[in-house]
Amino acid sequence: MNALHHDSDSLFSRANSGVQALRPYEPGKPVEELERELGIDEAIKLASNENPLGPSPLAMAAAQAVLPGVSLYPDGNGFRLKQRLADFHDIDPARITLGNGSNDVLELIARVFLGPGHNAVFSQHAFAVYPIATLATGAECRAAAANPVDHAMPFGHDLDAMREQIDTDTGVVFVANPNNPTGTWLDHDSLQAFITAVPDDCVVVIDEAYTEYVREADYPDATAWLDEYQNLVVTRTFSKIYGLAGLRIGYALSSPVVADLLNRVRQPFNANSLALAAAEAALDDREHVQRSIDMNSAGMRQLTAAFAEMGLTWIPSVGNFVCVRTGLPGQTLYEAMLRQGIILRPIGNYGLDDHIRITIGTTEQNTRVIEALKQVMETGA
C-alpha cells in the first residue's frame, strides 16, 4: 500500500461513522452538460421539479434592485422577509427560521434533535435528504414500509407502519406532504391523528415543499396546527412554485422554543441578499402563483391522458411531477430520453427502479416528452 492510499484510508476511518455510511444526494443533470455531451441545442430538463414559468417578474426585479449591494453581507436575521412571512402566515416572527432552501432547515432540525443513540423515522420512499441529514449526525435511520402498490396512495406514507417505528429514542419524524418522489398525499384527519399520537418530546416535521400545487379538498395545511402541537415543525420552500431554486431560500415554522434552538445552529448569513429580496416580492405575486397552478394542472392532465392512451401506469400525484411505470428499467429509460435531449429523473435510489419521475412542464415541453416516450417505447430504448 502506498503512503497516499494509506493516508486516505486513515482519513476515511476518522470520519463520522454516519457520514461514511451515507450516499450523497444526486442532483438532476444540468441542461448545459447534456448539450455539451451530445453536441445538441434546445435540450429540456424536467427532472428537478422546477417551475417551467420561472420566477415572478416581481421577484426578478427585487433581486436586481439589491444586486449593487452584494459587496455587503446580507441581513443575518432576514428581518424584512420574516416580517412578510409573519403576515403571510399570521404568525409571530419569533417562530420562523430561514434556510438556504428548505434542505437547510431540515439539516438544522437533524443537528439539533438527532445524534448517536437517537433515530429518525420516515417513509420508505421519502425525500433523500432525510436519511442524509440523519446519518450525518450519527443517528439511526428507520424507514417504515410504504403503502402497497394496490393502495389508493401506492408507495405513499403508511402512517401505522411509521407509528410502529417510533420509540423513546426517536428524535425526529419526517413526513413529506405531498411526498417526493411519489406525489402521494395524506388527508387532514389521518395526518392530525398521527401527529397527536407522536410523543410530545419527539419533533414531527411536515415537509410542505409542494403544498401550493395541491387542489384536493381534504388536504391539510399543517401550519394551522402549530399552536396545538409544540413539537410540530412545518417546512416550506421558494424553490418550487415560486421558481427561486437557484437562489436557495426556504423556511421553517415552529414553536418559539424550537425556532430558538434552530437559530442557534443556523449559520449567520445562510440566506443571501438576492434570495431575501426575491422571496419577499414573490409572496406578493399571487397572479404568478395562480398561473403556475393552472399550468401544472393542465400539464398533469396532458401527461396522464397520454400515459393512459399508451397503456402505462403512474402513481397518483398532487405535486408538480408524476412517476410513470413504462416496463423499462428507469435508468434505461432515462438514458434513452437523454439521447432525445430530455432530462428526466430515474428514481432507483428511492427503491422505485421501474419508474421514472417527470416534472410537469409547459404544454410544448410535455408534448415533446410524450412524443419521445412513444418513440422510445416503440423501439425498446
SS3 271: coil
CA distance 125 to 154: 10
Mean pLDDT of 162-184: 98
| pLDDT over 60 (residue 340) | yes
pLDDT at residue 79 in the model: 97
Q: Which letter, b or e, does each residue of 32-51 get, where b requires 16 or more Cβ atoms within 10 Å of its Cβ?
A: eebeeeeeeeebbbbbbbbb
349: left (phi over 0), alpha (psi -120 to 50) or beta: alpha
Ranking 178-182, 279-283, 328-332 by mean pLDDT, the lowest is 328-332
pLDDT at residue 19 in the model: 76
How confident is the model over 24-79, as pLDDT tens digits?
A: 666 677 888 887 887 888 899 999 999 999 999 999 999 999 999 999 999 999 99
pLDDT at residue 4 in the model: 56
Bridge partners (DSSP) of residue 358 are: 322
Pair 276, 78: CB distance under 8 Å: yes
Pair 324, 313: CB distance under 8 Å: yes
| pLDDT over 90 (residue 256) | yes
How confident is the model over 120-156, as pLDDT tens digits?
A: 999 999 999 999 999 999 999 999 999 999 999 999 9
Residue 329 DSSP label: -
CA distance 62 to 196: 41
How confident is the model over 351-368, as pLDDT tens digits?
A: 899 999 999 999 999 999
Give Cα separations from 379 to 183, 325, 335, 366 (angstroms). Answer: 29, 16, 14, 20
pLDDT at residue 3 in the model: 56
Q: Going from the N-terminus, what domains does the chain have, and what CATH number goes with each?
A: 30-54+287-379 (3.90.1150.10), 57-282 (3.40.640.10)
pLDDT at residue 114 in the model: 98
How confident is the model over 282-305, as pLDDT tens digits?
A: 999 999 999 999 999 999 999 999
